[in-house]
């Protein structure tokens, strides 16, 4: 019996949306000329007892499986590839680099409706018109069937034909259309709605451009000087320095060359203001892709890019997979933002994929940020990226003044020091607005018993339950568990339970009491759940009356508040002492981002940071010398201990209901790692090492125990070699059924 097959009839090699990291061979559909099938089309195939939608990768004359074992694919779903060549290459690279199944990667790259097998032929309209050469006798007989006659009259009234939808709206009965067609009275045809290409819009601009200042002009030239060559430019400009204006003009340049532009923005950075700026500037269609869209809207956006109708696509992380036949420029705004990294399934970085896609297409990529990631700064220093700095705020705005306030031993009123209260008071008196930032939603981080000190913890996670007041409940922000607020301590039955620490609800309450007759607006995930809530609050803020804004990260990104002149950061300390080596980098970026909300127009801004550790050197450096010196200090530290970007890292996580299963799983993997390092000669100064297994920072989450194994290496290559040996071990582990495991290449969160 043959174990492989070679055959004159070709085989189809497909990627299927399953976790197995391999491709699958099928026989071509019956009565189908396989040589006409193009890579990138969808085919339905039997898989076990299910049917799944696969993507054709190639047709081949050889299979590793005997022909009688191969199943037959069903009819192809597309004529034209829905996964275009460059997206296929991008996904292949992503699947291999992030160690994930290609089929699942391709599936994620498609809009949900296409994943689920939606037939794109439906995008064409079914139309009906009168048939030629009608037998008059048949028309006469119609008078005996009045309903058919009525429908016939409707079709006849449209000599050029009409869509089925339109005819139905006019009163035609769809079922009768078919009967009339059988009688030879009418005929059907399909009409493909005309697509207007983005480059047919003239003029390209709706409003005129600003005159770039000298620094902006240099940045513009860096990105546009060789428009049809791959390059990566890091645009490092403080908030308000005019980065967006540079993007807009670079995009204009791209559109002038009849090419499309892709702009990636962070998850919550896509504010109505940003979008409005793009739509006000360009006459050419701008399509937006974000998580708030329904499946149909997403498909429409995808189609507008795919057909070359949209000139500009603005979208969050997954938009990096949007097919754009005329792509000529990719911009990644706020490139340091964590939301570019997917934290489940395939753990890709959209920023890094953007650079790879730019290389594939041979086009420029621009990364912009006020606080670039250490990785990108490092690449700029090594001249892998071009580096452009915008030091001045555009227009008349001045950089804000930053101040540390020591809160050790100070009396605080719900987290606010007296200095802060006074500053808020003065700001309001001047008719301006103040912004209070804290990274904790809810009323308080936890509830504690005054008698025995018991804290209310989540039974499923190593975490406290957050106290919420609107509506009142306890909530675990890690597993979403919700509980009513207990009246008594579950430990000692005391009734003296008190909130501990600050959340946005509590700050809102205290500030509203203190500053009566002033609008206090809380902006966080809870207060903006209702669809128009955020825009309602923003329009109050933009009226410009004195107001206090209280909020989380949501306030930090993308917004432009002209009247905000004071920014208060309630506490900056936790990030500097976190177990995550990226803690200081992240908190530094966040602080500057929030600080950047102040004084964005003519009035000067003032930033107050409350701290228990005013002598913390990193914090000092950030406040007195700015981000460049701060980042430089962190880079020196990272280099001394070979942490990224001076080395590479991969995190293997296993979770199970019993901690020992997760431990045992990774212990076996660790053993294999040690063996592979020996046999493959991966040790040594340029080599790799495996550390662990050890419990994750939050060991228990959603009732599962989490263990981790760190793989660290001086080169990407050796780390990759090691991973390629370890994945099959994990895939075939006898513990597989009890374990969920994941691979995170270049992890940003140590979880």
| Chain residues that interact with Zn ion, rule: CB under 5 A | 449, 451-452, 454, 458, 460-461, 476, 478-479, 481, 489, 491-492, 494
Give me the least distance between CB of 246 and ligand ADP, in Å please. Answer: 7
Residue 362 interacts, among ligand ADP, Zn ion, none and using kind-specific CB cut-offs from 5 to 8 Å, with none
Residue 498 interacts, among Zn ion, ligand ADP, none and using kind-specific CB cut-offs from 5 to 8 Å, with none
Looking at beta carbons only, is 73 or 270 nearer to ligand ADP? 270
Report how far residue 589's alpha carbon sits from residue 594's, in angstroms, rounded to the nearest whole number.
9
SS3 174: helix
Looking at beta carbons only, is 286 or 643 nearer to ligand ADP? 286
Give me the least distance between CB of 396 and ligand ADP, in Å please. Answer: 8
Distances from the Cα of 177 to the Cαs of 138, 142, 165, 298, 359, in angstroms? 15, 13, 12, 32, 53
Give me the least distance between CB of 237 and ligand ADP, in Å please. Answer: 5
* Closest alpha carbon to 519 in 553, 546, 479: 546
SS3 322: coil
Give me the least distance between CB of 252 and ligand ADP, in Å please. Answer: 14
Burial class (CB in 10 A: 0-12, 13-18, 19+), 713: buried
Q: Which two tokens stand for residue 235?
A: 């645009």
Give me the least distance between CB of 269 and ligand ADP, in Å please. Answer: 11
Residue 445 interacts, among Zn ion, ligand ADP, none and using kind-specific CB cut-offs from 5 to 8 Å, with none
Looking at beta carbons only, is 488 or 625 nearer to Zn ion? 488
Residue 461 interacts, among ligand ADP, Zn ion, none and using kind-specific CB cut-offs from 5 to 8 Å, with Zn ion
Give me the least distance between CB of 371 and ligand ADP, in Å please. Answer: 12
Looking at beta carbons only, is 555 or 669 nearer to ligand ADP? 555
Give me the least distance between CB of 268 and Zn ion, in Å please. Answer: 23
Residue 10 interacts, among Zn ion, ligand ADP, none and using kind-specific CB cut-offs from 5 to 8 Å, with none
Beta bridge partners of 333: 368
SS3 429: helix
Residue 243 interacts, among Zn ion, ligand ADP, none and using kind-specific CB cut-offs from 5 to 8 Å, with ligand ADP
* Residues contacting residue 146 through CB under 8 Å, at least 6 positions apart: none
Residue 605 interacts, among ligand ADP, Zn ion, none and using kind-specific CB cut-offs from 5 to 8 Å, with none
Looking at beta carbons only, is 246 or 666 nearer to ligand ADP? 246
Looking at beta carbons only, is 561 or 705 nearer to ligand ADP? 561
Residue 478 interacts, among Zn ion, ligand ADP, none and using kind-specific CB cut-offs from 5 to 8 Å, with Zn ion
Give me the least distance between CB of 163 and ligand ADP, in Å please. Answer: 44
Give me the least distance between CB of 702 and Zn ion, in Å please. Answer: 6
DSSP label at 457?
B
Give me the least distance between CB of 552 and ligand ADP, in Å please. Answer: 20
Report how far residue 215's alpha carbon sits from residue 149's, in angstroms, rounded to the nearest whole number.
73
Beta bridge partners of 60: 11
* Residues contacting residue 253 through CB under 8 Å, at least 6 positions apart: 220, 224, 227
Residue 451 interacts, among Zn ion, ligand ADP, none and using kind-specific CB cut-offs from 5 to 8 Å, with Zn ion
Residue 244 interacts, among ligand ADP, Zn ion, none and using kind-specific CB cut-offs from 5 to 8 Å, with ligand ADP
Report how far residue 277's alpha carbon sits from residue 268's, in angstroms, rounded to the nearest whole number.
16
Report how far residue 314's alpha carbon sits from residue 270's, in angstroms, rounded to the nearest whole number.
8
Report how far residue 382's alpha carbon sits from residue 467's, in angstroms, rounded to the nearest whole number.
48
What is the full DSSP assignment across 211-280? PP-HHHHHHHHHHHTTTTS-EEEEEEE-TTSSHHHHHHHHHHHHHHTT-EEEEE--TTT--HHHHHHHHH
Looking at beta carbons only, is 138 or 210 nearer to ligand ADP? 210
SS (H, E, C) 45-73: EEECCEEEEEEEEEEEEEECCCHHHCCEC
Looking at beta carbons only, is 565 or 616 nearer to ligand ADP? 565
Q: Find where tokens 């070359």 sit.
A: 308
* Closest alpha carbon to 561 in 531, 522, 610, 594: 594
Looking at beta carbons only, is 111 or 599 nearer to ligand ADP? 599
Residue 210 interacts, among Zn ion, ligand ADP, none and using kind-specific CB cut-offs from 5 to 8 Å, with ligand ADP
Question: Does residue 575 contact residue 374 with C-beta atoms inside 8 Å?
Answer: no
Question: Does residue 257 contact residue 227 with C-beta atoms inside 8 Å?
Answer: yes
Q: Find where tokens 């730019």 sit.
A: 358
Tell me the torsion sign for CA atoms 107, 111, 116, 118: negative
Give me the least distance between CB of 558 and ligand ADP, in Å please. Answer: 9
Residue 237 interacts, among ligand ADP, Zn ion, none and using kind-specific CB cut-offs from 5 to 8 Å, with ligand ADP
Give me the least distance between CB of 215 and ligand ADP, in Å please. Answer: 9
**Residue 569: enclosing H or E segment and its boundaries?**
strand 564-569
Looking at beta carbons only, is 212 or 293 nearer to ligand ADP? 212
Give me the least distance between CB of 214 and ligand ADP, in Å please. Answer: 10
Q: Which residues of 170-188 are buried (b: 16+ CB within 10 A; e: fewer)?
A: eebbeebbebbeebebbee
Give me the least distance between CB of 335 and ligand ADP, in Å please. Answer: 13
Give me the least distance between CB of 445 and Zn ion, in Å please. Answer: 14
Q: Please count the other Cβ atoms lying within 10 Å of the Cβ belonging to residue 725.
A: 16
Give me the least distance between CB of 79 and ligand ADP, in Å please. Answer: 43
Give me the least distance between CB of 487 and Zn ion, in Å please. Answer: 12
- Return the ∠ at Cα 139 (arms to 137 and 143), rounded to 5°: 110
SS3 195: coil
Looking at beta carbons only, is 351 or 478 nearer to Zn ion? 478
* Closest alpha carbon to 485 in 494, 475, 111, 477: 475
SS3 385: coil
Question: Does residue 248 contact residue 257 with C-beta atoms inside 8 Å?
Answer: no
Looking at beta carbons only, is 303 or 331 nearer to ligand ADP? 331
Half-sphere exposure in the Cβ direction for 153 (13 Å, CA): 11
Looking at beta carbons only, is 242 or 747 nearer to ligand ADP? 242
- The strand order across the sheet containing 740-745 reads 688-701, 704-713, 648-656, 740-745
Looking at beta carbons only, is 105 or 392 nearer to ligand ADP? 392
Looking at beta carbons only, is 16 or 467 nearer to Zn ion? 467
Residue 620 interacts, among Zn ion, ligand ADP, none and using kind-specific CB cut-offs from 5 to 8 Å, with none
Residue 395 interacts, among ligand ADP, Zn ion, none and using kind-specific CB cut-offs from 5 to 8 Å, with ligand ADP
Residue 240 interacts, among Zn ion, ligand ADP, none and using kind-specific CB cut-offs from 5 to 8 Å, with ligand ADP
Looking at beta carbons only, is 370 or 414 nearer to ligand ADP? 370
- Taking each helix axis from N to C end, the angle separating 627-640 and 583-595, rounded to the nearest 10 degrees, works out to 170
Looking at beta carbons only, is 204 or 481 nearer to Zn ion? 481
Question: Does residue 588 contact residue 622 with C-beta atoms inside 8 Å?
Answer: yes
Residue 427 interacts, among Zn ion, ligand ADP, none and using kind-specific CB cut-offs from 5 to 8 Å, with none
Residue 216 interacts, among ligand ADP, Zn ion, none and using kind-specific CB cut-offs from 5 to 8 Å, with ligand ADP
Given the rule CB under 6 A, which residues bind ligand ADP? 210-213, 216, 237, 239-245, 394-395
* Closest alpha carbon to 509 in 527, 495, 525: 527
């Amino acid at each position: 019996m043959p174990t492989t097959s070679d055959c004159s009839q070709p085989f189809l090699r497909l990627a299927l949306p399953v976790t197995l990291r391999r491709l699958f061979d099928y026989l071509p559909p019956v009565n189908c000329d396989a040589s006409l099938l193009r890579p990138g089309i969808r085919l339905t195939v039997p898989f076990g007892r299910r049917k799944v939608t696969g993507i054709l990768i190639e047709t081949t004359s050889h299979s590793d499986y005997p022909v009688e074992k191969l199943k037959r694919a069903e009819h192809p779903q597309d004529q034209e590839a829905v996964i275009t060549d460059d997206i296929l290459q991008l996904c292949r690279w992503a699947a291999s680099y992030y160690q994930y199944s290609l089929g699942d990667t391709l599936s994620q790259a498609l809009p949900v409706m296409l994943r689920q097998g939606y037939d794109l032929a439906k995008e064409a309209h079914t139309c009906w018109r009168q048939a030629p050469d009608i037998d008059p006798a048949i028309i006469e007989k119609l008078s005996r069937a009045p309903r058919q006659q009525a429908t016939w009259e409707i079709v006849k009234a449209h000599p050029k034909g009409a869509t089925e939808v339109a005819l139905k709206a006019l009163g035609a009965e769809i079922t009768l259309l078919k009967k009339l067609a059988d009688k030879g009275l009418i005929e059907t045809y399909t009409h493909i709605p005309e697509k207007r290409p983005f480059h047919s819009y003239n003029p390209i601009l709706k409003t005129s451009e600003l005159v770039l200042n000298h620094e902006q002009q240099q940045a513009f030239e860096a990105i546009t000087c060789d428009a049809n060559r791959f390059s990566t430019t890091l645009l490092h400009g403080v908030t308000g320095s005019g980065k967006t204006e540079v993007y807009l003009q670079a995009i204009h340049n791209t559109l002038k060359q009849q090419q499309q532009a892709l702009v990636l923005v962070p998850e919550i950075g896509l504010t109505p203001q940003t979008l409005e700026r793009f739509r006000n500037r360009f006459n050419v269609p701008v399509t937006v892709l974000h998580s708030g869209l329904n499946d149909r809207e997403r498909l429409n956006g995808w189609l507008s890019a795919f057909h070359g109708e949209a000139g500009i696509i603005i979208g969050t992380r997954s938009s990096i997979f949007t097919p754009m036949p005329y792509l000529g420029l990719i911009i990644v705004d706020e490139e340091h933002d964590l939301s570019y990294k997917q934290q489940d399934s395939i753990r890709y970085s959209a920023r890094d994929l953007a650079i790879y896609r730019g290389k594939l297409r041979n086009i420029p990529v621009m990364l912009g940020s006020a606080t670039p990631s250490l990785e990108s700064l490092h690449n700029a220093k090594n001249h892998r990226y071009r580096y452009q700095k915008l030091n001045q705020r555009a227009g008349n705005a001045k950089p804000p003044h930053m101040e540390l306030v020591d809160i050790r031993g100070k009396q605080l009123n719900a987290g606010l020091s007296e200095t802060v209260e006074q500053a808020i008071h003065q700001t309001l008196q001047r008719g301006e607005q103040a912004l209070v930032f804290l990274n904790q939603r809810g009323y308080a981080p936890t509830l504690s018993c005054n008698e025995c000190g018991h804290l209310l913890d989540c039974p499923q996670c190593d975490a406290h339950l957050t106290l919420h007041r609107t509506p009142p409940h306890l909530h675990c922000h890690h597993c979403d568990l919700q509980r009513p607020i207990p009246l008594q301590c579950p430990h000692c039955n005391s009734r003296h339970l008190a909130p501990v620490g600050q959340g946005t609800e509590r700050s809102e309450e205290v500030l509203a009491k203190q500053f009566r007759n002033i609008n206090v607006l809380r902006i966080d995930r809870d207060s903006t759940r209702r669809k128009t809530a955020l825009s309602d609050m923003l329009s109050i803020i933009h009226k410009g009356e004195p107001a206090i804004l209280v909020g989380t990260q949501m306030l930090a990104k993308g917004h432009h508040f002209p009247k905000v002149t004071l920014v208060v950061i309630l506490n900056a300390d936790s990030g500097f002492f976190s177990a995550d080596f990226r803690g200081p980098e992240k908190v530094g970026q966040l602080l500057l981002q929030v600080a950047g909300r102040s004084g964005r127009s003519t009035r000067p801004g003032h930033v107050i940071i409350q701290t228990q550790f005013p002598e913390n050197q990193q914090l000092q450096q950030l406040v007195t010398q700015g981000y460049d010196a701060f980042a430089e200090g962190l880079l020196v530290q990272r280099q001394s201990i070979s942490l990224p970007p001076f080395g590479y890292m991969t995190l293997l996580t296993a979770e199970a209901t019993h901690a020992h299963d997760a431990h045992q799983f990774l212990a076996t993997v660790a053993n294999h790692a040690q063996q592979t390092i020996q046999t493959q000669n991966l040790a040594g100064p340029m080599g790799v090492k495996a550390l662990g297994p050890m419990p994750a920072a939050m060991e228990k989450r959603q009732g599962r125990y989490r263990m981790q194994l760190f793989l660290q290496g001086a080169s990407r290559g050796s780390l990759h070699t090691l991973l390629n040996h370890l994945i099959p071990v994990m895939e075939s582990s006898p513990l597989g059924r009890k374990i969920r495991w994941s691979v995170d290449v270049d992890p940003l969160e140590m979880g």
